[in-house]
Amino acid sequence: MKSSMHGAVAAIFAYVLWGFFPVYFRQLASIAPIDIIAWRIVLSFVFLIFILLVWLRPAKLMRQLRAVNQWWLVLVSALLLSSNWLVFVYAVLSNQVLQSSLGYFLVPIVSVALGMLVLGERPNGYKRIAVGVAVVGMLITFIVAGQVPWIALFLGCSFGLYGLCRKQASYDSAVGLMIETALMLPIAVLYIVLFSAPIDSLEAGTEYWLLMLGLVTCAPLLTMIFAARRIELSSLGFYQYIAPVMHLLLAVLVYQESLDLERIMALVTTLIAVFFWVLGSIGGAGKWKRKPVIAV
């Protein structure tokens, strides 16, 4: 009981940290989103390699790295994660946090759809309804608004695909994120050297927020790993809604994003889809018990 309580506290802590991401990235508003992602890749890699060398010790880390043989899968994961990071930061800095929250609400529903289409899974009726409601809701939003809610769709689909890749992978989350950032590291470093503004040219205080990117990215991940080893994955899946709920509240209450008709329709249909997903998940009813992805 004590172990599961510690796991629950750690899961809540991790998702609350992710929930505050819009607040954190707003502190970097003077930096271009692609610059932020380049630094995030570099600083996350540095932080993770240091932590893993201390945590696993060099010999064990090397054994895990040598065991990786799914390099095409790692590369696809790295591209999906980097693009997801970039679009999320763009959404935050362009005052579209509501769309980003809807995107992360859609992640488990996209995962169910991918399980059906790619893995031949047969989830229960509630989860199928969730997929249908989400699809219809996005179509209605498109018809009413005359434009595709591309940020929500991209975030939901890219992270759902990232979760699918991770489901096939044989490496754990922390090591996997280190490998993914390592693959993107040469591109990120080259971009910083050639195109990014020097740190000392940033606004006063901004460089300190920037240099915290590695810690901010990896702290909730490592906390979530601690939680995942102490509580059931079905329970962990419910905690994942803490972050998008916080993003939604920040968008409406703090950043005063307008709730026009199309946004209300997207929000309502998404929440209805989430409701059916939760119904389908109660008691482990679904045949595809999706492992929550913990590298946000």
pLDDT tens-place string over residues 178-222? 999 999 999 999 999 999 988 878 887 898 999 999 999 999 988
Q: At what angle do helices 33-55 and 71-93 cross, to 10 degrees?
A: 130
For the cut 60, the answer to whether the pLDDT of residue 289 exceeds it is no
What's the rounded mean pLDDT across residues 6-16? Answer: 89
Domain definitions of the chain by residue range: 2-284
The pLDDT assigned to 295 comes to 52
Give Cα separations from 87 to 16, 81, 93, 152 (angstroms). 20, 10, 10, 9
For residues 36-57, one letter each, b for 16 or more C-beta atoms within 10 angstroms of the residue's C-beta and e for the rest, the string is bbbbbbbbbbebbeebbeeebe
Of residues 139 and 32, the one with the higher pLDDT is 32
pLDDT tens-place string over residues 134-162? 888 878 777 776 677 899 999 999 998 99
What's the rounded mean pLDDT across residues 102-117? Answer: 86
**In which band, very low, low, confident or very high, does the pLDDT at 239 lie, cut at 50, 70 and 90?**
confident
pLDDT tens-place string over residues 169-183? 777 778 888 999 999
